[in-house]
Structure 1
Amino acid sequence: MAKIVEHQSRDVDDQAQALDGWQQRYEQLSAGRFEGRAWQLVMDEGTLLREHTNRHLREQITPPPDHLVLAIPLAVMPGSSFGGRPLERESLMVFGPDEEYDLVSAGELDLIGLSVHRDTLAGLAPPKWNGWSGPSANAIWASPRKRPVPFGRCCWRSRARPRKRAP
């Protein structure tokens, strides 16, 4: 049965424990009062989540076991990085299962994510993907161009431009 979990915190260590099933360590790198929020829709098959933090942080993140996670920043400060690469608004972050990832936010970070269990993926994926074997897998097909994308990278940036409104 699905459940909604909401969390608010003014403590960086407390915020690191907010996401169900994740192993996280946060270190605040700037002065000032920390504020964080997390919202999760937790289901057996995976989790839809949104997390917001307001300070310069270093996050060491390990997703839940046997889950593939896709996340997109809705708001991110310049100078932020994921896996050593620049992190920008609308970058696609891919977290493979059972591995630790390094994220540095230069300030405010607001992101949405989807965590899906490997059994659910196996049931939904085309037959050529059914051999996905967790941490030993080194790529997935994540872009419309069908190019392999290594786990733990900012791997795709939206090139969408705002549409002009008709007069």
Structure 2
Amino acid sequence: MLCEIRRFDDVDVHAGAILGWQQTYDQLSTGHASTLLKHVTGERFQIFQEALDKRVVQRGTAPHGRLCLAMPVSHAGPAVFQGRSIDTQSVTLLHSGQEFFVQATEGMDLLAITVDAVRLERLADLELPAPSARRLGALARLEMHQDVLAAVRGQLLDLVDAALAAKQLPEKLLEDRVMACMLDLLGQAVERDGRAVNHAVSAYLVRQSQELALDLAQRDEPVSVLEICECLNVSRRTLQRSFQTLTGLRPVEYLRAVRLNAARRRLRGTDPRQLTVARVASDLGFTHLGHFAGYYKTLFGEHPSETPRHG
């Protein structure tokens, strides 16, 4: 079992430190990042708490064979999960191998747990009414009574602190307590209705636009908004509204930030003697090196030449 508390100055390095998750984090708000990660990871469970001081886009795939549940710890403005707003009374779920897309606000403090899906299903059959147990695989969001959620959240935070304080809690005991918290939440939950379809469409358009923006292998310059509209068969108004709803930014601003984050990852992972800043900028569609350096400095609080290279 691994118990750690770590601080990072790069949001994507932070993302890579959360064991079992295939994911990338892109920084959207400007300045040097300073993040905190607490995690307790066992063979069949995980608890982690992450605090982000920047606006971040999180995307990736949930761990296979796990049910994952997440809840904000403190209020830092509404975040967006899978196209829907979440706050401190929201509980969201990800299933084995499910793709996710999260817009995290500055100052977001998130608590998440994962448990073995097969064991949870077996226990849910015993503890939950049959209709609820059968619907478990389709749940994406839970609406909780505030007191219940606060109590369970407090239990989980106490478990993290106890494990980090090296109180020698057996791994099996920790797993069972995490599983009990998961069952308590599922047992008390009522799936929330709402306009999820429209939000899901917006989330899809943003994700697809992001993929198009990073697919520069066959292109000499970034894809334009009009080209994205043509590829996705949507109007400029629909695309603009989707980006404003989910990211608060215009498509051009958001997609430029995505490419800047991709450039930062490449810089951090390569040797400056083998790959120059100019080449990285060009590969990501920035044809004017001065403009690239200015955008980069504004977003990350440092010039590209100041980013640590670890190739």
What's the offset of the Cα at 1:5? 2.6
Structure 1 residues 71-129: Cα deviation after superposition (integer angstroms, max 9, x where no partner):
11012432421111112123111111101111102211101111001132134221554
Match of 1:112 in 2: 111
1:63 and 1:98 in contact (8 A); partners too: yes
For 1:159, the equivalent position in structure 2 comes to none
| Corresponding letter in the other structure for 1:144 | Q
Instruction: Judge conservation of contact 1:139–1:148 (CA < 8 Å) in 2.
Output: no
- Structure 2 match to 1:62: 61
**What is the percent sequence identity of the aligned residues?**
22
Match of 1:44 in 2: 43
Instruction: Give the TM-score, by structure 1 length.
Output: 0.75
Partner of 1:115, secondary structure, is strand
The answer for the alignment partner of 2:125 in structure 1 is 126
What is the TM-score normalised by the length of structure 2?
0.42
> Aligned partners of 1:62 and 1:130: how far apart in 2?
24
* Runs ≥4 residues deviating over 6 A: none
Pairing of 1:62-101 with structure 2 (within 5 A): 62-101=61-100
Which ranges in structure 2 are unaligned for 5 or more consecutive residues? Answer: 143-185, 197-311
Distance 1:80 1:49 in 2: 18
Larger relative contact order (CA 8 Å, sep ≥ 6): 1
Measured in 1, the distance between the counterparts of 2:34 and 2:191 equals 38
CA distance in 1, matches of 2:60, 2:72: 15
Identify if the C-alpha distance between structure 1 residues 85 and 148 changes in structure 2 by more than 3 Å, giving closer, same or farther. Answer: closer
Unmatched segments (≥5 aa) in structure 1: 153-167
- Residue 52 of structure 2 is aligned to residue 53 of structure 1: yes
Instruction: Quickly say closer, same or farther: Cα 1:99–1:145, change in 2 above 3 A.
Output: closer
Largest Rg, 1 or 2: 2
Whether the 8 Å contact between 1:77 and 1:105 is mirrored in structure 2 is: no
Answer yes or no: is the 8 Å Cα contact 1:76–1:107 preserved in 2: no
